[in-house]
A and B are shown apart, each in its own frame.
Chain A
């Protein structure tokens, strides 16, 4: 016993020492606790919800009638009262309202002129937009100064407490018509907004309105109620994390709160997007978006090279180089990755990673998936464009689906042929091949002595690919836009100059396609809102396919129109309504006890951005966990009664209980994962897979391609096999895998 305690002492000391060491070396400190926020969280959740609803009701009242401005306080939620403002306050709001009305009318008139091709006064227009955007912002943000005004008791409190969440409309667009002067036809929200606007570069406010309108239209169409809006301080915390990649500092918070202007969110964003943190954060995001996911076996993924590549990206972003130009520079880069080499080129890291070991299929995948947002993993084998186009054209009424630029299987292999002109020298030996220490030392020496250099191939081999009918086809050196890169007299490029020109044309084509623009929007959107605006695999999308695609195209056009101004896009997303929505967090108990309708509503909200993504969705699990849980749950059937969710205590209003959730059993977890509803298109696709004679491993790979754009790892294949052995049903097992993996 004594000895075991000594051992425990030693182990504990090691843990303590390692945690302190980690703190010291990582320079990490505890996140500062906001006591006021903590106090607010200590409020009984039910009361807090009512308080929030009352707060929104107050906003609504303000928006609909400026002369009856009401202010409520956060001081005592059970006694939320509406306060009648003083004479001076009333007068101020009355005057503001009149001024806004005049501006609104004038704005609509001048925009109608603009739409007809007449150029109005730019100055007046910009002043009008500024005034309107300020007005809009005032409506949107219940600012802290207002919150601090002490509320007094009023008879209206009773009714405010009785307000339910559903009865409170989203508090934003009631006075928003003014900033959407270019979209004045959207007065009726059930009417489809026209969002093409490709010929006009919208300003930041208009860009925000563009997103808000489309989202609101999408929700109205389906009767979706978004969650409530968060307060300023929460917004700041969220924005700081997602725009700067770090928690908000106390200094930042103090500055933000001390700024009492109605544009304080914009002010903060303007300042944040100029900071080093912004460039560092977004260069990391950008690198992750364009580089393929690193594999655990990939020893060549040198940390130092990657860091230098990211630093290079950061410098380019900081120098205001547009994203398309940066990608162009990356694609035409060649040279060594060694910092002190004469031909040092940190941006060549991209080619060194994607075309390592002359794996040109991987490089083509990186181009189609990471740069163009296409389904590279699918189209290398399937000519799936037809079905995707069909899927879109079935839904698209106004747009012609055939205009959607896409890459066919032949295009894919033609691209691979162009890419095979790239050669990466100085490959490292993977450490997994080492059999003993001597070999290991030798290969380490080799790794140290060989340095990667990206250049053009000495010898050009014709690339062949197999069609489904087993016929072999020679790939052409041709771009998807039909430009044949091979000179008429040559069958293939023979000189390095010719290869260089081909790569330059490839880079120019990639960065000029609309799909490139949309891909950039999609990864920025995903970084800010947790999921891409449109999944590249359309069968995974369950709802809002058309509306999302329209918005994606419009934002892609706007991004190009604004010279790929990353900061502008980030700022616009941070100011949209969807970024300010509350997260609908749900724990396993909620998942189990909610009715099918509640669950469907929750999933619909998540898909349609009607709530901010929950940080931890219990239905999203690693396959390993799903497999283990399922096995345990399955075996429990032999010895224990099967799980019956109806026997759990039913929660009223389906909200997260305040008490700590009980431990979730394997059977319950299995139930949770099973409760995820797969989109219809995907169910049909799975049936299609099952009818083919595909081996199980390939089936699993297909599921992982859909979820992650990469095949399953060995570990995942093992877990999938375990799941299959437990279920003994391929359909059930593959559906379980998809349900657990899909975003």
Chain B
């Protein structure tokens, strides 16, 4: 399906792409998750996801298949992130996009990471209560290591080790499940 029905002069007007909504709905979550994975917080990921689709609306692409579209969108999102980070003089979590792309495909596959989230949910329940609490405080409440240590009655170093071990276990468990 070729969606680039707009010529160069009309592109600056009102893009007429009826399937845009469907296209965005299909790929939105994948782009957003990918952006989160390469270091964006929620709101930046939201903004850049919008910008990614905006860019595609302005310069429509030829759709070959979903996987190719998703890959193209990730590229656009990645470059937008680089631009954004350059502006704010911050660094990006990965130096090699190609390697990251491969790892992302290994984790998220072609279902935008839904299977990985399911696996994570299952694996998370298998952690000890203390580990779960520590990770919840860290990721949900943005608590500091000091606060986590205080809540669990351990040292900061202990809290760090506990979370590192828990994350390691989670990673192994999820990787085993999605293989």
Contact = CB atoms under 8 A, between A and B. Distances in A.
Interface of A: 5, 8-9, 11-33, 35, 38-39, 41-44, 47, 75-78, 247, 299, 302-304, 431, 437, 440-441, 444-445, 447-448, 587-588, 625, 660-661, 663-664
A302 B144 CA distance: 11
A447 B155 CA distance: 12
A76 B14 CA distance: 6
Interface string B108-148: 10000100110011001000000000011101110100110
Contacts of A31: 46, 49-50
B116 A43 contact: no
Contacts of A447: 150
Contacts of A23: 33, 36, 117
10 closest cross-chain pairs (CB), A and B: A30-B32, A44-B12, A12-B103, A19-B36, A31-B46, A42-B57, A19-B37, A25-B139, A35-B21, A25-B140
B54 A21 contact: no
B120 A20 contact: yes
Contact of A44 (B13, B20, B137): B13
B15 A26 contact: no
B65 interface: no
B99 A43 contact: no
Given A8-B94, A304-B151, A661-B83, 4 more contacts: A13-B103, A24-B124, A30-B46, A431-B156
Contacts of B139: 18, 21-22, 25-26
A43 B14 contact: yes
B48 to A, nearest CB: 11
B116 to A, nearest CB: 6
Contact of B155 (A19, A20, A42, A441): A441
B157 interface: yes
A5 B98 CA distance: 11
B162 interface: no
A35 B87 contact: no
Contact of A15 (B24, B42, B86, B94): B94
Contacts of B87: 587-588, 661, 663-664
Contact of B13 (A33, A77, A431): A77
Contact of B141 (A11, A35, A76, A303): A303
A9 B167 contact: no
B57 to A, nearest CB: 4
A12 B94 contact: yes
Contact of A38 (B45, B53, B100): B53
B93 interface: yes
A444 B175 contact: no
Contacts of A21: 120, 124, 135, 139, 167, 170
B33 A20 contact: yes
A620 B46 CA distance: 23
Contact of A39 (B57, B103, B124): B57
A437 B157 CA distance: 9
Nearest to B84: A660
A39 B15 contact: yes
A593 to B, nearest CB: 16
A314 B150 CA distance: 26
Nearest to A445: B153
24 contacts: A8-B96, A13-B107, A14-B167, A15-B38, A15-B39, A15-B94, A16-B108, A17-B107, A21-B167, A23-B36, A25-B135, A31-B50, A33-B49, A38-B53, A42-B57, A43-B12, A43-B14, A76-B14, A302-B150, A444-B153, A444-B155, A447-B150, A587-B87, A625-B89
Given A33-B49, A303-B141, A437-B155, A76 B13 contact: yes
Nearest to A9: B103
B154 interface: yes
B165 interface: no
A663 B120 contact: no
Contacts of B32: 30
B68 to A, nearest CB: 21
A15 B93 contact: yes
Nearest to B113: A20
A33 B45 CA distance: 12
Contacts of B174: 17, 20
Nearest to B30: A30
A14 B103 CA distance: 10
Contacts of B69: none
Contacts of A660: 83
Nearest to A438: B155
Nearest to A588: B87
Q: Which of A43, A77, A78, A660 gathers the greatest number of chain B CB atoms within 10 Å? A: A660
A63 B115 CA distance: 56
Contacts of B71: none
Contacts of A437: 155, 157
B64 to A, nearest CB: 22
A441 B154 CA distance: 7
A346 B15 CA distance: 56
Nearest to B100: A12
B38 to A, nearest CB: 7
Contact of A13 (B42, B49, B149, B175): B175
B106 to A, nearest CB: 8
Contact of B99 (A5, A33, A448): A5
Nearest to A17: B171
A306 to B, nearest CB: 11
B72 interface: no
Contacts of A663: 86-87
A154 B124 CA distance: 63
Nearest to A33: B24
B171 A9 contact: no
A660 to B, nearest CB: 5
A9 B106 CA distance: 10
A221 to B, nearest CB: 36
Contacts of A431: 146, 150, 156
A304 B154 CA distance: 17
Contacts of B135: 21, 25
B119 to A, nearest CB: 9
A587 B46 CA distance: 19
A74 B13 CA distance: 11
Contact of B150 (A247, A444, A587): A444
A652 to B, nearest CB: 16
Nearest to B32: A30
A16 B104 contact: yes
Q: Which of A13, A29, A661 gathers the greatest number of chain B CB atoms within 10 Å? A: A13
A17 B104 contact: no
A303 B124 contact: no
B146 to A, nearest CB: 6
Q: Which of A22, A78, A247 gathers the greatest number of chain B CB atoms within 10 Å? A: A22
A9 B167 CA distance: 15
Nearest to A664: B87
Contacts of B36: 19-20, 22-23
